[in-house]
């Protein structure tokens, strides 16, 4: 029998009243249907830790889809259900979501007796979870509201800040849990328990990750690289041997250490600009992680991880070109005349932010970092006042000639040799005269 005590006081103290109301409403639906309903998983873990987390997961002892649909009907919500997994997502009018799972329906099948849901089905359900800290549940039905169920010692592990699996075959059953262990350890500032760490090392030695599909591996990696401070997790993965089991070339990730640390700095700088542009942090770190890799190795890793085509065509597929640009710039700084703004512009044009930030992290030249900064904050927004239509009205025919004049004007704008519409107009005129 599990330890069970009420955390209603904690719920009332730590959760916003809106969240408490939602929990109670979900509980009421459970009462009306005669089903036990529990808040479970990361939501409960973070509540006990005092960390903000309003992603609610509930588990219904019984049919979760039926529960979700009933709740939605009476509360004006929509439902997306996944019958294959007996799960559903309640989408509330404000767009917030509640994940609903079902414990497996298990019946005592004795003839003549009405089927009853097996009492311990919640325990069964929680036993399939990754770590003890994620196995806590509290009931949200009215008569037991806030009653915490702790089958596997999750409370103690939260108190002692330990990430621990429930059983020895956990990582064999689902190898992606090795990444989840690192993610929780680093995010929460916990420690992977010594025995659990041994199980990870054994699993890695047994190459269990080889059997995991690319997409699942990539998703776990993305979750880590999207964390607020992923660097320690990256080196922890390296230390546990997780990275080489993705691809042998990732063995030397230590050589990329400088670039990985610089990436953190560059991303912090970028965030302070408060630009509207979205930047995928995980992609910048991914590029940093692969810094020392040859192009074929990089392509190999992308293949192994089934990186989606849209990410390849938007970002990763341009890596080689970006590295070429960086090299050319470095050569030019050593030998050639000073680099003009327009040259910076034409070099970086077409490269997505993620690659630009990676280049800034990678380069050892302060000037190049300044160029990236100048491009992101200023140059890429530069436009001429006279557009194609205005220039055609001045008598320039559409086609190569128009393209030539437009590029010339933009270059002059970028380099600051012209600054007004009047100057644009007279420059366009003299270009027309020259060409005729
Ligand atoms: P986060 O704050 O990152 O969302 P979380 O604990 O809510 O953390 P999710 O990835 O959203 O994690 O998963 C929800 C719950 O499902 C977890 O608490 C965990 O118990 C369970 N879970 C998720 N993935 C696995 C897995 N691979 N094996 C076992 N249980 C898992």
At 357-379, the pLDDT tens digits run: 999 999 999 999 999 999 999 99
Measured at the alpha carbon of residue 267, what is the angle toward residues 263 and 271, in degrees to the nearest 5?
A: 175
Rounded-to-integer distance, Cα 160 and Cα 156, Å: 6
Q: What is the DSSP string of 384-416?
A: -SS-HHHHHHTTPPTTHHHHHHHHHHHHHHHHT
What is the length of the chain?
A: 436
The pLDDT, as a whole number, for residue 114 is 52
Rounded-to-integer distance, Cα 151 and Cα 170, Å: 17
For residue range 265-285, list pLDDT tens digits in order: 999 999 999 888 999 999 999
Ligand 1 centroid to 144 CA: how many Å? 25
Q: How many CA atoms lie within 13 A of 184 on its CB side?
A: 25
Rounded-to-integer distance, Cα 333 and Cα 187, Å: 41
Ligand 1 centroid to 129 CA: how many Å? 8
Ligand 1 centroid to 55 CA: how many Å? 11
- What the block records as the tokens of 254 is 């230590």
The pLDDT, as a whole number, for residue 434 is 82
- φ, ψ (nearest 5 deg) of residue 292: -85, 0
Q: Please state which architecture CATH assigns to domain 170-282.
A: Orthogonal Bundle (1.10)
The pLDDT, as a whole number, for residue 107 is 53
Ligand 1 centroid to 130 CA: how many Å? 7
Return the biggest CA–CA distance within the chain: 100
Strand order across the beta sheet in which 137-139 lies:
3-6, 147-150, 137-139, 36-40, 56-61, 97-102, 87-91, 78-82
Residue nearest to atom 30 of ligand 1 (CA): 129
Q: Indicate the pLDDT class of residue 195, thresholds 50, 70 and 90.
A: very high
Q: Which residues line ligand 1 (CB under 6 A)?
A: 41-42, 55, 57, 129-130, 134, 174, 176-177, 180
Q: Can you tell me which residue has the tokens 């009853």?
A: 116
Percentage with pLDDT > 90 across the chain: 81
Of 151-155, 210-214, 217-221, 334-338, the least confident? 334-338
Residue nearest to atom 8 of ligand 1 (CA): 42
The pLDDT, as a whole number, for residue 396 is 85
Rounded-to-integer distance, Cα 403 and Cα 388, Å: 9
Residues 6+ apart with CB under 8 A from 131: 157, 163, 164, 165, 166, 177, 180, 181, 184
For residue range 31-61, list pLDDT tens digits in order: 999 999 999 999 999 999 999 998 999 999 9
Percentage with pLDDT > 70 across the chain: 95
Ligand 1 centroid to 187 CA: how many Å? 14
Rounded-to-integer distance, Cα 364 and Cα 258, Å: 10
Ligand 1 centroid to 42 CA: how many Å? 7
Nearest to 30 by CA among 97, 98, 128: 98
The pLDDT, as a whole number, for residue 361 is 97
Mean pLDDT (the chain, rounded):
93
For residue range 163-186, list pLDDT tens digits in order: 999 999 999 999 999 999 999 999
- What the block records as the tokens of 325 is 């640009």
The pLDDT, as a whole number, for residue 401 is 87
Mark 296-333 as b/e (b = at least 16 C-beta within 10 Å).
Answer: eebbebbeebebeeebeeebbebbeebbebbeebeeee
DSSP E strand stretches across 151-256: 162-163, 191-192
Residue nearest to atom 24 of ligand 1 (CA): 130
Residue nearest to atom 26 of ligand 1 (CA): 130
The pLDDT, as a whole number, for residue 323 is 97
Q: How many CA atoms lie within 13 A of 136 on its CB side?
A: 25
Nearest 10 degrees: Cα torsion 357, 359, 361, 363: -150
Q: Please state which architecture CATH assigns to domain 3-158.
A: 2-Layer Sandwich (3.30)
Residue nearest to atom 15 of ligand 1 (CA): 41
For residue range 4-29, list pLDDT tens digits in order: 799 999 999 999 999 999 999 999 99
Give the H/E segment covering residue 157.
helix 154-159
The residue to mutate among 38, 41, 173, 186, having the most atoms of ligand 1 within 8 angstroms of its beta carbon, is 41
Q: How many CA atoms lie within 13 A of 328 on its CB side?
A: 12
- What the block records as the tokens of 19 is 């969240």
The pLDDT, as a whole number, for residue 336 is 83
Q: What mean pLDDT comes out for the span 388-409?
A: 88
Q: Reply yes or no on whether the pLDDT at 30 is more than 60.
A: yes
Q: Which atom of ligand 1 is nearest to the CA of 45?
A: 6
CA distances from 147 to 2, 138, 311 (A): 11, 5, 45
Mark 357-391 as b/e (b = at least 16 C-beta within 10 Å).
Answer: bbbbbbbeeeebbebbbebbeebbeeebebeeeeb
- Ranges of CATH 3.30.460.10 domains, the chain: 3-158
Q: Indicate the pLDDT class of residue 2, thresholds 50, 70 and 90.
A: low
Q: Reply yes or no on whether the pLDDT at 135 is more than 80.
A: yes
Ligand 1 centroid to 119 CA: how many Å? 24
Higher-confidence residue: 397 or 143?
143
Dihedral class, residue 62 (left if φ above 0, else alpha if ψ from -120 to 50, else beta): left
| ipTM > 0.90 (yes/no) | yes
Q: Reply yes or no on whether the pLDDT at 112 is more than 60.
A: no
Q: Indicate the pLDDT class of residue 109, thresholds 50, 70 and 90.
A: low
The pLDDT, as a whole number, for residue 105 is 55
Q: State the alpha helices, DSSP H only, in 273-383.
A: 281-289, 295-304, 309-314, 319-334, 341-348, 353-362, 366-377
Q: Can you tell me which residue has the tokens 């939501």?
A: 43
- Ranges of CATH 1.10.110.30 domains, the chain: 170-282
Q: Reply yes or no on whether the pLDDT at 194 is more than 70.
A: yes
Rounded-to-integer distance, Cα 334 and Cα 10, Å: 63
Ligand 1 centroid to 41 CA: how many Å? 7
For residue range 310-358, list pLDDT tens digits in order: 999 999 999 999 999 999 999 999 888 889 999 999 999 999 999 999 9
């Amino acid at each position: 029998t599990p330890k069970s005590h009420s955390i209603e006081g904690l719920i009332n103290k730590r959760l916003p009243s809106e969240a408490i109301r939602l929990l109670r409403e979900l509980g009421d639906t459970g009462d009306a249907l005669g089903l036990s309903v529990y808040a479970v998983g990361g939501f409960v873990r973070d509540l006990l830790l005092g960390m903000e987390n309003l992603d609610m997961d509930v588990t219904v002892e019984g049919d979760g889809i039926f529960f979700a649909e009933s709740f939605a009907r009476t509360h004006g919500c929509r439902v997306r259900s996944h019958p294959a997994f007996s799960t559903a997502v309640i989408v509330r009018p404000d767009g917030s979501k509640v994940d609903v799972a079902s414990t497996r329906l298990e019946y005592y099948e004795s003839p003549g007796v009405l089927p009853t849901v097996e009492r311990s089905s919640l325990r069964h359900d929680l036993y399939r979870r990754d770590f003890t800290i994620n196995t806590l549940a509290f009931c949200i039905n009215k008569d037991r509201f806030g009653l915490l169920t702790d089958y596997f010692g999750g409370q103690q592990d939260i108190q002692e800040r330990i990430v621990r699996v429930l059983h020895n075959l956990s990582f064999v059953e689902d190898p992606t849990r090795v990444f989840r262990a690192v993610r929780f350890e680093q995010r929460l500032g916990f420690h992977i328990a010594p025995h659990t760490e041994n199980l990870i090392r054994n699993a890695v030695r047994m190459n269990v990750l080889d059997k995991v599909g690319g997409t699942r591996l990539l998703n776990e990696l993305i979750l880590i690289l999207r964390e607020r401070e992923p660097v320690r997790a990256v080196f922890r993965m390296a230390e546990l041997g997780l990275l080489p089991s993705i691809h042998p070339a990732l063995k030397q990730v230590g050589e990329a250490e400088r670039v990985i640390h610089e990436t953190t700095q560059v991303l912090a700088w970028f965030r302070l600009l408060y630009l509207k542009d979205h930047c995928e942090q995980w992609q910048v770190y991914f590029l940093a992680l692969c810094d020392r890799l040859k192009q074929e190795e990089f392509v190999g890793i992308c293949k192994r991880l089934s990186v989606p085509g849209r990410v390849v065509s938007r970002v990763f597929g341009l890596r080689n070109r970006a590295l070429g640009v960086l090299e050319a710039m470095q050569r030019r700084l050593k030998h050639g005349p000073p680099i003009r703004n327009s040259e910076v512009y034409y070099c970086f044009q077409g490269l997505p932010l993620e690659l630009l930030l990676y280049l800034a992290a990678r380069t050892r030249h302060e000037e190049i970092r300044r160029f990236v900064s100048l491009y992101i904050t200023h140059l890429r927004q530069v436009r001429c006042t006279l557009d194609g239509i205005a220039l055609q009205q001045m008598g320039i025919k559409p086609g190569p000639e128009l393209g030539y004049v437009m590029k010339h004007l933009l270059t002059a704008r970028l380099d600051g040799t012209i600054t007004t519409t009047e100057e644009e107009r007279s420059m366009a005129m003299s270009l027309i005269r020259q060409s005729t």
